[in-house]
Chain A
Amino acid sequence: MCPLNLIILNNLSQMRTFAHISTRKVRIGLCVLITFLVISPSFGQNNKSAPPSDSLWFIELPVMVVTATKSAIELRDVPIPTKVILGEQIRLRGGLRLSDLLSEETGFLQIHYFGSGIQLQGFDSEYTLILIDGQPVIGRNGGTLDLDRFSVSNIERVEIVQGPSSSLYGSEALAGVINLRTRSATKPLAGFASHRIQSNGTRNSNVAIESIIKGLGSRFNYDRYSSDGYDLSPDVIGLTGPSFVTHTSTARFDDTFGEKVTASLGARLAIQNQSNVIGFDQSGVELSFEERFRQKDWSLSPSFVWKFSPKHRFTFRGHLTSFDSHSELDDTTGHSVVQFNQGYQKAEVQHDLILPRGLIVNTGAGLIGEFVEADRISGGARTNQTTFAFSQQQWFPWNWLQIITSGRLDRHSDFGIHFSPKAAVMYKSAGSLRVRGSIGSGFKAPSFQQLYMDFTNAVAGYTVVGASDVAGALQNLESLGQIQAYLTDPDTFTDILPETSVAYNLSADFDLTSRIQVHISAFRNNVRDLIETLPVAAKPNGQQVFTYVNLSRIYTQGLSTEITAQPFRSIHISMGYQFLSAKDRRVLEDIDQGIVFGRQNGRDYRLSRSDYGGLFNRSKHSGTIQVAYTSPDKHTNIQIRGTIRSRYGYGDLNGNSILDAASEYVKGYLILNTSFTRDVTSRITLQAGVNNLMGYTSPQFVPSLSGRQLFAGLSISTN
């Protein structure tokens, strides 16, 4: 026992000192993994007599998950790899927002671009679908759905499916699906309140009340999250991280009508207010602007389940949601407002047919209506419609084999019909081994901007028109004498298509010993028809007219492994590592043709494939480590959690638009978070901790990281 303990401590202390040495730290991370792989079998034998784990850290079986198949299946038996973060883990980690929670998972890299997004399997955050209780969340800014919008206080668990799930969920589910399952009432009458103080004047308050009266369960949750912001660059006008106040109110009702019908209603209202002063130096004159930003989202999601017979079950779901953002800018010359409103309505019905002899068929269909209103949208406001149908067959031919086939048709009013198939198999050994494999297709519909934009830059004079309107817009510009020449023949324009992927996922899970569990996975995504801007016409002012077309092809591939171990009853360790490679195929072709160059000291040279660093923002190596101690009486939990990432491309500096020069990389870094949780009585819990323990900051490249954060909180429940 002792040698292992020492090794862990050694490695931890080593990791601390390797924060700034990006290439070496990964090797250290690997060493940790290898050390574990090598010594763990014998170690497991030492503990053979130990009783099975009942720690909160281990997932208590059976955990039923719904996201992977749109039907409840036990986690260990679902053929599509699904990761679950349980509410107790969420509580003990002491994170406040969904971004805090997800960024500590292996293979989830936090990317800050118009909000906190998550990069999954090397995909930008716009390719991951976020659901609340199975229904999509809207409101993306620059493609990012800001995960800071979501408090974790009302989340019972998070289910994550990696790899495409467009065959069930349609658009956006290329990289994966993250489903936040909210809490429902479990007690006749209960209340909960908590308050937390944190560095930078950050405060979080949470109140929840639940009741079950005559079968009607109600749960109300209110969460207030605010901060004074932080300033990493005091010499620059304004704060690096602005001050904000976010209010989130949710309500959930569950009821049963007789034996056969259950109904539920989820509601959410979130409002975020943010203000900052931004400024810059213009030829020695300091210009400053006051910026106020407000965003609001609400949703209403009713659902009914009708268990018609043991074989037949019907589910009806509705989803009504709206997102709007409003920003105001005040400067010496005046006042400007930018407004964006988005609406989404969905109705769907699903039929589950449960046949003996091991076959479940899930079939569904529905309608989606979308609405957008914004200044830069052609006509000011637009709508579109999608009708869809999906079917899934879950086959259980033998105990050791499960097969899932599924497919979904989406018919969109702008780009027509799109079909997404997927097939998955799982092999179960008599022991703990599970091998899962899948081939699937994912897609992402063109965004509102890509479809409907109508924008002319008043200063530079260029024009961008959305793909839906490009033919008409060009005719209009021509009649106004605004077209000098066509760069692309307007008759050759083809309709814009969704961005699509074909993905291969293979994974294995097994218990190395009764106390060490291993997960290994490999993935490859071939993505085509990525949408980019293309100049289509020249204007008399020398500028161009751009539209959106399907152009690029990329691939992402990687390997990842996670190991969880419980060397002692009170200690739980988990470690993960991901290797990632994500590249633009067109760049590779150009390099092969010898038409891509680098420049050093004014001298140009041809690039080779090995000079190309792939897509920006991707770390080749990344990892996580979590060590937790739970006292024998279960009343005390102490944890330290780390995330580490190797260097990644920030932006092009030498003009060739691709990542090749060393100066175009951001150094890798390590973030350590700690938390201490103590249940003082069965009703009172104290929590304290330090996030970003080593205080790593990088104002230029990672302004979203605010430095060391101390926190302390108290929570009280009526029990």
Chain B
Amino acid sequence: MSKSLFSSTLLLGLALLVAACDSSSNSDNSDPVVAQRVTELPADPYTGFAPSGQPITAGIYTFFSLRTNSIVAATDSASNAWDVAFKGTSILVNGGISGPGNGAAQVLNDVFSDIKIAPASGWAQDSVTGFAIPTGSGNGWYNYEPSTFTITPIPGRVILIRTADNRYAKISILSYYKGQPAIPDRTSESRFLTFDFVFQPDGTLSFE
């Protein structure tokens, strides 16, 4: 009992800390739904260079739980423990061909904070014809600029997530680079995602 009290206190403390640190979060502490920021989450970063000079990666997705705001071990990829997974610019949801859960997603064009309620329809799961969060420049959450070799998140693209266990979340990706440079160049270290998200644990579509 004392152990669970300890962890509850820790969680509350963490939540308060996150809430205190994040300027975009609701100041009302009684509100259970707060915007949280994940900073520079490695999404299968480069590990070195091939003899040809081409950069190489491990090729492994980073599995992530929105409920706990933490990385889930890749060994748990066949469970409902994770909600989204990141590898470079690709994002998986825990559903369809990607996982055992009921996860789905859709991408909306709107201001992140203006989305007060998740849509009831329009959800897609990862399938052989494509991911629920489309890949490719301009299709999903990012644009690729060939002249500078840079990936830039598209303003106003909000990723709506249905988790493995039918909870709803919204994500706004802010940066693809380590150090979150305002203007990345070809020397910026890529495949590190910074994003804001709101997770609604009660199973409703509301983000308030």
Contact = CB atoms under 8 A, between A and B. Distances in A.
Interface stretch (A92-100, A189-197, A590-598): A590-598
Nearest to A606: B111
A651 B112 contact: no
B148 interface: yes
B186 A280 contact: yes
B95 interface: no
Nearest to B109: A595
B130 A282 contact: no
A542 B135 contact: yes
B155 A656 contact: yes
B174 interface: yes
A598 B143 contact: no
A602 interface: yes
Contacts of A635: none
B183 A535 contact: no
Given A484-B128, A597-B111, A652-B143, A287 B53 contact: yes
B52 A333 contact: yes
A280 B154 CA distance: 28
B187 A281 contact: yes
A544 B182 CA distance: 28
Q: Which of B147, B152, B186 has the most chain A CB atoms inside 10 A of its CB?
A: B152
Nearest to A544: B136
B75 interface: no
Nearest to A285: B49
Nearest to A654: B155
A546 to B, nearest CB: 9
A535 B152 CA distance: 19
B111 A604 contact: yes
Contacts of A606: 111, 156
Contacts of A485: 128-130
Contacts of B152: 652-655
Interface string B164-175: 000000001010
A282 B183 CA distance: 18
A258 to B, nearest CB: 59
23 contacts: A281-B187, A283-B49, A333-B51, A484-B128, A484-B130, A485-B128, A487-B130, A594-B109, A596-B156, A599-B153, A599-B155, A603-B24, A604-B111, A604-B155, A606-B156, A651-B145, A652-B143, A652-B145, A653-B182, A654-B155, A655-B152, A656-B156, A657-B154
A602 B113 CA distance: 11
B203 interface: no
Nearest to B54: A459
A538 interface: yes
A484 B156 CA distance: 29
A484 B129 contact: yes
A280 B149 CA distance: 14
Contacts of B153: 599, 655
A100 B83 CA distance: 60
Interface string A332-358: 010000000000000000000000000
Contacts of A654: 152, 155
Nearest to A334: B52
Interface in B6-60: 24, 49, 51-54
A486 to B, nearest CB: 8
B139 interface: yes
B60 to A, nearest CB: 14
Given A654-B155, A655-B155, A663-B183, A535 B136 contact: yes
Interface in A572-626: 594-599, 602-606
Contacts of B147: 651
Nearest to B196: A602
B142 interface: yes
B43 to A, nearest CB: 14
B145 A535 contact: no
A651 B156 contact: no
Contacts of B102: none
Interface in A226-284: 280-283
B90 interface: yes
Nearest to A458: B54
B111 A605 contact: yes
A195 B31 CA distance: 81
B148 A651 contact: yes
Contacts of A542: 90, 135
Interface in A457-505: 459, 484-485, 487
A617 to B, nearest CB: 12
Contacts of A651: 145, 147-148
A333 B49 CA distance: 14
Contact of B154 (A544, A594, A653, A655): A655
Given A538-B129, A602-B174, A604-B172, A657 B138 contact: yes
B49 A597 contact: no
Identify the interface centre among B135, B136, B147, B187: most chain A CB within 10 Å of its CB: B136
A281 B185 CA distance: 12
Given A597-B156, A651-B145, A282 B49 contact: yes
A653 B196 CA distance: 20
B21 to A, nearest CB: 14
A287 B187 CA distance: 13
8 closest A-B pairs by CB: A597-B156, A655-B152, A599-B155, A485-B129, A597-B155, A595-B109, A604-B155, A655-B154
Interface string B113-149: 0000000000000001110000110110011010110
Contacts of B138: 657
Interface string A639-668: 000000000000111111100000100000
B201 to A, nearest CB: 24
A595 B109 CA distance: 6
Contacts of A655: 142-143, 152-155
Contact of B53 (A282, A594, A602, A656): A282
B168 to A, nearest CB: 20
Nearest to A595: B109
Which residue of A604, A651, A654 has the most chain B CB atoms within 10 A of its CB atom? Answer: A604
Contacts of B174: 602
A602 B196 CA distance: 9
Contacts of B155: 597-599, 604-605, 654-656
Contacts of A333: 51-53
Contacts of B182: 653
Interface in B173-208: 174, 182-183, 186-187, 196
A597 B109 contact: yes
Contacts of A597: 109, 111, 154-157
Contact of B156 (A544, A602, A604): A604
A652 B138 CA distance: 13
A590 B50 CA distance: 43
A73 to B, nearest CB: 44
Given A280-B186, A651-B145, A656-B156, 4 more contacts: A287-B53, A485-B129, A653-B152, A657-B154
Interface string A524-558: 00000000000100100010100000000000000
A658 to B, nearest CB: 10
Nearest to A535: B136
A656 B90 contact: no
A679 to B, nearest CB: 48
A719 to B, nearest CB: 52
B128 to A, nearest CB: 6
Nearest to B183: A653
B112 A604 contact: yes
Contacts of A487: 130
Interface string B83-107: 0000000100000000000000000
A463 to B, nearest CB: 13
Given A542-B90, A597-B155, A663-B183, A657 B143 contact: yes
A596 B143 CA distance: 13
Contacts of B129: 484-485, 538
A535 B137 CA distance: 10
A75 to B, nearest CB: 42
Contacts of B145: 651-652
- Identify the interface centre among B24, B128, B155, B187: most chain A CB within 10 Å of its CB: B155
